[in-house]
Each structure stands twice: as C-alpha cells, then as structure tokens.
Homo-oligomer: A and B are copies of this chain.
Amino acid sequence: MLEELKQRVMEANKRLKSDHLVISTWGNVSEYDEKTGLVAIKASGVSYDSMKPEHMVIVDLDGNVVEGDYRPSTDCATHICLYREFKGVKAIVHTHSTYATIWAQAGKDIPILGTTHADYFMGDVPCTREMTKEEIDSAYEENTGHVIVERFKDINPLEIRGVLVKGHAPFVWGDNADSAVTNAMVLEQVAKMAWHNAVLAGGDPAKLNPNLLNKHYNRKFGKDAYYGQK
C-alpha cells in the first residue's frame, strides 16, 4: 500500500543524513497523500543507514497507525496537526540542524538578511512562543503543532515554509518530501549566515531591502517567475 510514497519518503529521510542535516536519528520526514488522506512517516529511532521502505509507517489524520510494524516518529502528532491546519502543505521535515536549532534555542526569528533567504522564504522565519506547563505535560507533540499554527495566524505557510519551535528545533515543509528537505537545507544555510551577521553586527543586523525581497521571491515563485527552465 502506497509503496511509491513510502519509497519517496524513505529517500528523503536518507537525504537528511547525506545533506548533513541530522546526526544520530534526530530527524524525520513525512509526506501526505491527498487521494487517500494518509501520511507516510519515518518510524521512531530508526538509523538512516539501515532504513528500508517498511520503516515508513502509514497513519491517518487522526493519528491512527493504518499500516506498519513500527511506532511512528514521536513527532508524528506535530506533523498531523500541521497537515490538518495548513492546507496545501504536502510534506514536512523535522531536524535538529545546527544553526536553525541555535536560533530556536535563542527563541528568536531568523531575520531576512539577503537574497539567498528571499529566494526561498518570503520574510523572517518565525519562532514560536514558550509552551505552558499544561501544554507540555499532556499531548505535548500535538500542542507543539498548535503553537506553530498560532504563530502563523498572520503568516501564509505557503510563503514562509518553516518555523522554529522555541527551545527545540525547526519544522520545514514543501510540495513533496524532496523539496521539503531542500527547504530544510536552505533554512540551515540561511540560519548559519544570519548567525554570523548578527555576531558581526554585535546585535541586530540590518534587514534586506524589501524591494529585493519581493524581486527575488517572485522571480522564482511569483506568477511571472523566470528562474530555471520552464
């Protein structure tokens, strides 16, 4: 069942390792299948080197395991919450990639400082608020999803395809498992450069000219996009 999806999600999970976005087993990728309304997600605590398609667990949007002999990732409830709330998001990646996690630990949005950032994200990448003791003590992973959704009240998740969970690490999304991993890789590079700029500036670095932000984002994703081969 959903063999192609499981294969694709497995390959995206392995790419987390080859792109140096994870160490140990600290990351997971899922993808949502619109036809069946089901999600394929990595099993919890599985090594990337020995990963096979059967380590991809199929769950529905209520969090029930539909197929698979393994427990899904502990972050599964966060993924499902985002699929339910963010229409159009087809794949989700969670990593503890170094620089994105540093910004999450700092509890700060990643400021948009250059066109590299604008080529992929239409503005600052936001960080969530502190979670309450109640949110942490029960249904923690689902509540992680809720604080992300709350943070996007005035942000379009199809223009800003990622978030930092305060004290934890990033979640990133995209149109399919592979492009979501690309977005996670770009977020890490953008977070790395922003850290260096913040330190060089001795505080808050100057933001990118908004005209450049619009130009770069739209030449890749706008209605008159002209980047790449069409």
Interface of A toward B, CB cutoff 8 Å: 23-24, 26, 43-46, 70-71, 74, 96, 98-99, 101-102, 104-107, 113-116, 119, 130-131, 133, 136-137, 140, 167-169, 182, 185-186, 189, 192-193, 195-203, 205-206, 208-209, 211-212, 215, 219, 226-230
Check A211–B137 contact: CB distance below 8 A: yes
Given known pairs A98-B189, A98-B192, A105-B193, the reply for A136 and B205 (CB within 8 Å) is no
**Could you say which residues of chain B place their CB within 8 Å of the CB of A169?**
114-116
Q: How far apart are A45's CB and chain B's nearest CB, in angstroms?
A: 3
Q: How far apart are A65's CB and chain B's nearest CB, in angstroms?
A: 13
In the complex the two chains form, what is the Cα distance from A192 to B192 in whole Å? 13
**Could you say which residues of chain B place their CB within 8 Å of the CB of A205?**
105-106
Given known pairs A24-B182, A186-B24, A196-B195, the reply for A209 and B104 (CB within 8 Å) is no
Check B208–A167 contact: CB distance below 8 A: yes
- 11 pairs from A and B in contact (CB 8 Å cutoff): A98-B196, A104-B114, A105-B197, A113-B167, A115-B167, A115-B169, A137-B215, A140-B219, A167-B209, A168-B212, A202-B202
